[in-house]
Amino acid sequence: MFTNTLFLLSAALTIGGAFAVVYSENLMHACIFLLASFFGVAGLYACIGADFLAATQLVVYAGGVVILMLFAIMLTGGTANNFNRFGLEKIAAMGNKKTYFMAGITAVVSSLVLLKIIANVLRNQSSAALEANLPTVERIGTVLATDHILAFEISSVLLLGALIGAAVISRPRTEKND
Amino acid sequence: MSTFNLDVYMPVVILIALALLVAGGSLLLGGLIRPHNPNKLKETAYECGEEPVGSAWANFNVRFYVIALIFIIFDVESALMFPVAAVFKKFNQIGLGGTLLLSVFSFVLILVSGLIYCWKKGDLDWVKSFNSQPQLATKDK
Amino acid sequence: MINLGTYLGISFALFICGILVMVARKNIIAILLGIELILNASALNFAAYTKFSNNNIDGHIMSLFIIVTAAAEAAVGLGIVIRFFQLRESIHIDDAASLQN
Amino acid sequence: MNSTVVTYLSQSKELTLATEWLTKALGFNASSLVAFIVFAVVCLIVVGVMSTIGGLGTYAERKISADLQMRVGPNRVGPYGILQFLADGVKMILKEDIIPSGADRFTFILAPFLCLIGVFATLAVVPFSSGFMLADLNVGIFYLLGMASLVGVGVFLGGYASNSKWSMLGGMRGASQIISYEIPATITIISIVLLAGGLSMGTLIGGQGGMPQQWYLFHNPFSFIGFFIFFIASLAETNRAPFDLPEAESELVSGYHTEYSGMRFGLFALAEYIEVFVVCGVATALFLGGYKVPFDLGTGSILVEKLGMDEMLAKNLGQILEIGSFFTKTLGLYYVVIWVRWTLPRLRVDQLMTLCWKYLTPIAIFNLLGCAVWMYAFDGKSIYSLLFESVASVAGHH
């Protein structure tokens, strides 16, 4: 009963947020709707007992990626002679009829492909009762520390590369006379 | 291993609903009884009595982004570290603590090298010119 | 109500929204928002298959690494956007057509 | 099964009877419904108590600051002015609500809601006592971090939406400060998770005891330093002095809530004061033994054995003792937070970032590695038990 309510709320938040991202004309608002969508996905994770993933979704997306995006929007907002590129006035580059037409075609084509796959999956869906939820943190930790230890270590190299790369790219150029 | 019921998430949903209720309720209640007579001057942004010039939504310094960048990398690192840290005690008890300690060490040290790189390159300095000219104030004497 | 079909349907909707945002928008940051949606859809699929097919924890690990990769991707992507903006004073995707500056 | 307030109450006969009666009356299994009702009532109580504590926090802040500055402080409303916060609340509700014409209305309205949701949702895992805990989630402390990061988004959006230069600067500074100081706090929490071997609040507190030498604060030298790092970082995360740069009156007027008036400002303030309490509670749970009471008085087993008391009554008494223990420690920390505000001058913004990234984060990482090595080298024993053992073995030899 409660699980269904939680699932419905999360699903509504997820899909509603995603649609709002599509239709929002304001980049800042799109970012806020994206936050709502991430929240809903966290709820969906919680519904299938993936509690650690739900918390990770909150920590990494709601706390990290969204803030990063908000900062990036503020940093690319406007130039000295062109204020208000985002915000109350419509942002300059949010797309036009032609791009929406193209997007619609792409969406229809990819959804046809995907629906075919999903239909195949659903035809063979087992209707067995769901197993009870087990705590995931310990299992994830055990697997991360044994079977997937290489992936664990390599992810730190990936993060190191991302940190150094992004820091080098976005670092303001120092003046030559400094 | 013990299973858990999804009912444990009830308080979370109830508390979020209560937060919306408290905030919305107090605003609605206030809306019924508080005065509402706005004028043009009241609705301008506060700039110490001056008329605001331009919009506040201008460009910001890149250093904010670099800070957020280092933050998100360490945030993700912590997300990966939490489950490993949670099983460390168990692994230690069955005698596998050494290998886990080694992997945790290498994981953290690889990331720390990134922090050291940013430190050396001056990304962690808020004001870069501060260090280059510290004697300005004392030169006058 | 909670079964593989609804989860696949939700992640399908998320994916299509991401595709729409990615193709329709001309703003680089908005395109990155779309990519985040698509990555979320894929991570959700992995977690759903874990629950509904074999309860093997590997699916969660996969989702975890998708989240990690998405965060790193967002960091680097937004860094490139900021650099691009410093050079061109624009975040319009059509201004990024040529590789040389 | 995770221990929640419902599992605690279901030990008593009344709740079981009520559940059975409801199941018969309604024709379906009512245990979930009963759990929902209990949770709703307890959530209402917790939110009510927390709002009162938040309100009393403003009063305590003014009274203590007045004491520190040899003033009288609020003394008109009620005895010793203790009803001042009610007067303030009424005033906030009655104030005119102004939304600047240049503001982004949607975001402007949403920002205080986000702050309040983030803070209220963290209350779900605050461990008031072993029984009176709303939900002992398996990912307790990690969930708390995730929810608390919503406050940063709220602060940023509040600053952005006002379209005022002061607010924008305050919001940018506030968000970057909150996210920066999250890192040393998180890494310190990881080092405590290493010691405890779990993420849920029950596990984190279960590894400690009632006596100070059993606390994680005195477990080893690294966790001792970790406590201070965590405390400093949480001060900064809640925008308290000496880290209240986002709302530095002397430079930024009032920071991100410059344009907020009336109840909208009140919501920001309420969220901030409750967050201070939550952060103090988490520091208590992680380092100061949480709700633990010395000599296992919390379980009530001693009372049953020695005095022959009724089991449920003894348990309830133990719960009350535990709640008292938790609130004593937390409010003590709360007092220190206010004390620090009137003792230390505000930092400069570059000093703030230097403190976070060049001092606290490296020390926190060092602490994490140190804790891991300690766990490996001494089998997770605390420094006290090691000393005790060595003294005992020396005494045994002679």
Answer whether C82 sits within 8 Å of B62, measured CB to CB.
yes
The closest alpha carbon to A6, from D23, C54, D137, B8, belongs to B8
Answer whether C75 sits within 8 Å of B79, measured CB to CB.
no
Answer whether B46 sits within 8 Å of D40, measured CB to CB.
no
* Touching pair C, A by Cβ (3+ pairs < 8 Å): yes
> Per-residue pLDDT for chain D (398 aa), expressed as one digit of tens each?
466 777 777 777 777 777 777 777 776 777 777 778 888 888 888 888 888 888 888 888 888 888 888 888 788 877 887 888 888 888 888 888 888 877 778 888 888 898 899 999 898 888 888 877 888 888 888 889 888 888 889 888 888 888 777 788 888 888 888 888 989 999 999 999 888 888 888 888 888 877 878 888 888 888 889 899 999 998 888 877 777 766 666 666 677 777 787 788 888 888 888 888 999 999 998 888 888 888 777 676 777 777 777 777 777 788 888 888 888 989 898 888 888 888 888 787 778 888 888 889 999 999 998 888 888 888 777 778 888 888 888 887 76
For residue B119, which residues of chain D lie inside 8 Å, CB to CB?
Answer: 357-358
Q: Is residue C80 included in any domain, yes or no?
A: yes
Residue in chain B nearest D378 by alpha carbon: B92
Whether the predicted pLDDT of B136 surpasses 50: no
Answer whether A79 sits within 8 Å of C89, measured CB to CB.
yes
Could you say which residues from 8 to 47 on chain B have a Cβ atom under 8 Å away from some Cβ of chain A?
A: 9-10, 13
Residue B26 Ramachandran class (φ > 0 left, ψ -120 to 50 alpha, else beta): alpha
Answer whether B86 sits within 8 Å of D102, measured CB to CB.
no
Number of neighbouring beta carbons within 10 Å of residue D350:
14
pLDDT over 90 percentage in chain B: 0
User: In the predicted model, what is the mean pLDDT of residues B69-76?
Assistant: 89
Could you say which residues from 46 to 65 on chain A have a Cβ atom under 8 Å away from some Cβ of chain C?
A: 47-50, 52-53, 56-57, 60-61, 64-65
Q: Is residue A109 included in any domain, yes or no?
A: no
To the nearest whole Å, the CA of A15 is away from the closest chain D CA by 20
Q: Which residues of chain C have pLDDT under 50?
A: none
Whether the predicted pLDDT of B132 surpasses 50: no
Interface membership of B126 toward D (CB under 8 Å): yes
Structure tokens belonging to residue D96: 């005119």
Dihedral sign (CA D361, D362, D365, D371): negative
Please report the pLDDT score of residue D53 as a whole number. 86
Q: Is residue C101 included in any domain, yes or no?
A: no
Residue D142: φ, ψ to 5°: -70, -40
Question: How high does pLDDT run on average in chain B?
Answer: 77
Q: Is residue A138 included in any domain, yes or no?
A: no
R_g of chain A computed on alpha carbons: 21
Q: Is residue C10 included in any domain, yes or no?
A: yes
Answer whether C2 sits within 8 Å of A45, measured CB to CB.
no
Number of neighbouring beta carbons within 10 Å of residue D321:
18
Neighbours of chain C (3+ CB pairs under 8 A): A, B
Please report the pLDDT score of residue A41 as a whole number. 92
Q: Count Cβ neighbours within 10 Å for each residue of C82-96 and write b for 16 or more, e otherwise.
A: bbbbeeebbbebebe
Answer whether A6 sits within 8 Å of B9, measured CB to CB.
yes
Q: Is residue A106 included in any domain, yes or no?
A: no
| DSSP 8-class letter at C26 | -
Domain that holds residue A2: 1-94
The closest alpha carbon to A132, from D137, B4, B1, B7, belongs to B4
To the nearest whole Å, the CA of B140 is away from the closest chain D CA by 24
Structure tokens belonging to residue D238: 């809640």
CATH number of domain containing A26: 1.20.120.1200
User: Which residues, including other chains, have CB under 8 Å from residue A23's CB and lie 6 or more apart?
Assistant: none
Please report the pLDDT score of residue C24 as a whole number. 82
Asked if residue C21 lies in contact with residue C31, where contact means CB atoms within 8 angstroms, the answer is yes
pLDDT in tens, B15-62: 888 888 888 888 888 878 877 777 777 777 766 666 666 666 666 677
Q: Is residue A148 included in any domain, yes or no?
A: no
For residue B69, which residues of chain C lie inside 8 Å, CB to CB?
Answer: 75, 79
Could you say which residues from 51 to 110 on chain B have a Cβ atom under 8 Å away from some Cβ of chain C?
A: 62, 65, 69, 72-73, 75-76, 79-80
For residue D2, which residues of chain B lie inside 8 Å, CB to CB?
Answer: 4, 8
Could you say which residues from 34 to 53 on chain C have a Cβ atom under 8 Å away from some Cβ of chain B?
A: none
For residue D106, which residues of chain A lie inside 8 Å, CB to CB?
Answer: 29, 32
The total of structural domains in chain A comes to 1
Interface membership of A157 toward B (CB under 8 Å): yes
Q: Is D35 exposed, middle or buried (0-12, 13-18, 19+ CB in 10 A)?
A: buried
Could you say which residues from 1 to 20 on chain A have a Cβ atom under 8 Å away from some Cβ of chain B?
A: 2-3, 5-6, 9
Residue ranges of the alpha helices (H) in D243-310?
Answer: 249-252, 262-287, 301-307
For residue C73, which residues of chain B lie inside 8 Å, CB to CB?
Answer: none
Domain that holds residue C50: 4-96
ipTM greater than 0.90? no
Domain chopping of chain D, boundaries: 103-392
To the nearest whole Å, the CA of B76 is away from the closest chain C CA by 6
Answer whether C64 sits within 8 Å of A53, measured CB to CB.
yes
> Per-residue pLDDT for chain A (178 aa), expressed as one digit of tens each?
778 888 899 999 999 999 888 888 778 888 889 999 999 999 999 888 888 889 999 899 888 899 888 888 887 764 434 444 443 344 445 666 777 788 888 888 888 888 888 888 777 766 666 667 777 888 888 888 888 888 888 889 999 999 888 888 877 665 443 4
The total of structural domains in chain C comes to 1
Residue in chain B nearest A146 by alpha carbon: B100
The letter for the amino acid at A132 is A
Answer whether B79 sits within 8 Å of C67, measured CB to CB.
yes
Answer whether C37 sits within 8 Å of A50, measured CB to CB.
no
Residue in chain C nearest B70 by alpha carbon: C75
Asked if residue D131 lies in contact with residue D205, where contact means CB atoms within 8 angstroms, the answer is no
Of B86, B101, B130, the CB nearest to D193: B86
To the nearest whole Å, the CA of B35 is away from the closest chain D CA by 5
A79 three-class SS: strand
Q: Is residue C84 included in any domain, yes or no?
A: yes
Distance in angstroms (rounded) separating the CA atoms of residues D176 and D237? 10
Please report the pLDDT score of residue D25 as a whole number. 75
CATH number of domain containing C82: 1.10.287.3510
Interface membership of A73 toward D (CB under 8 Å): no
Neighbours of chain B (3+ CB pairs under 8 A): A, C, D
Q: Is residue A40 included in any domain, yes or no?
A: yes
Could you say which residues from 16 to 35 on chain A have a Cβ atom under 8 Å away from some Cβ of chain C?
A: 18-19, 21-22, 27, 30-31, 34
